[in-house]
């Protein structure tokens, strides 16, 4: 008696459209004869690659945040001295005027008056027409603080005029910076004459 033989059932073409990517990888591995352990190693390597890529991107973003920010176009970046590079660094004091204090004004004025007196020296002259007078200083209320008499016979007249103007400029600056007060009496310019060959005020 001949045994019965059944033809193998042909399920027709199979599709994997409904199979997930992970399952597809596993099926491909089994079809190629790859064992379960090899499949697990492949999946572990894939997960490690994804993790390293994520860490690399995070580190790059962190380094980018540490970079110094550039100022907007047209704006200069402020330069701040490094105390470690400049021992004893102190910011320069900011003043509202020419003088650091009233004493500073007094010292500068005294030096300017001394220079003026040195330029005048002994005002020698042989006639009164060679003697001249010059206003010096400035009151807070207006007008000069005094007058000087000098001889125009030498070559120092221009230097004397400049030095007198220096004293007046210091007074004007101090009056404005410190808000000084003064009397408003108007000084009368003196007459000049020659006595014993020297210009004097009368």
- Domain residue ranges in the chain: 123-201
- What is the model's pLDDT at position 92? 42
Nearest C-alpha neighbor of 137 from the set 101, 112, 159, 107: 112
> Residue 18: which residues within 8 A CB-CB, separation 6 or more?
none
Residue 76 CA to residue 74 CA, distance in Å, equals 7
| 8 A C-beta contact, residue 132 and residue 200 | no
* Per-residue pLDDT tens digits of the chain, which is 202 residues long: 445 444 444 544 444 444 444 444 444 444 444 456 666 776 767 666 666 665 555 555 445 555 545 555 555 554 444 444 444 434 444 445 789 999 999 999 999 999 999 999 999 999 999 999 999 999 999 999 999 999 998 889 999 999 999 999 999 999 999 999 999 999 999 999 999 999 999 9
Give residue 56's pLDDT: 53
Give the per-residue pLDDT at 141: 93
Angstrom CA distances, 120 to 16, 34, 147, 159, stand at 115, 114, 12, 9
Q: What SS3 class is residue 76?
A: coil
Residues 136/152, Cβ–Cβ less than 8 Å:
no
What local confidence, expressed as pLDDT, does residue 154 receive? 82
- Beta strand pairing call for 146-151 and 131-136: antiparallel
Q: What's the CA gap between 157 and 154, in Å, rounded?
A: 7
DSSP string across 27-76? HHHHHTT--HHHHHHHHHHHHHHHHHHHHHHHHHHHHHHHSPPPPPTT-P
């Amino acid at each position: 008696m001949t045994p019965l033989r059944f033809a193998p059932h042909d399920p027709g073409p199979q599709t994997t459209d409904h199979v997930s990517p992970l399952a597809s990888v596993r099926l491909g591995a089994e079809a190629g004869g790859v064992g379960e352990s090899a499949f697990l190693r492949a999946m572990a390597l894939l997960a490690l690659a994804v993790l390293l890529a994520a860490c690399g991107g995070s580190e790059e973003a962190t380094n980018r945040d540490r970079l110094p920010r550039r100022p907007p176009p047209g704006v200069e970046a402020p330069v701040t001295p490094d105390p470690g590079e400049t021992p004893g660094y102190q910011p320069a004091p900011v003043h509202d005027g020419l003088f650091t204090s009233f004493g500073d004004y007094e010292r500068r004025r005294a030096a300017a008056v001394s220079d003026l007196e040195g330029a005048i020296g002994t005002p020698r002259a042989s006639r009164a027409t060679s003697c001249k007078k010059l206003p010096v200083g400035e009151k807070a209320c207006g007008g000069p603080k005094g007058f000087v008499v000098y001889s125009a016979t030498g070559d120092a007249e221009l230097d004397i005029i400049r030095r007198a103007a220096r004293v007046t400029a210091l007074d004007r600056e101090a009056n404005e910076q410190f808000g000084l007060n003064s009397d408003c009496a108007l000084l009368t310019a003196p007459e000049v004459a020659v006595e014993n060959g020297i210009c004097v005020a009368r």
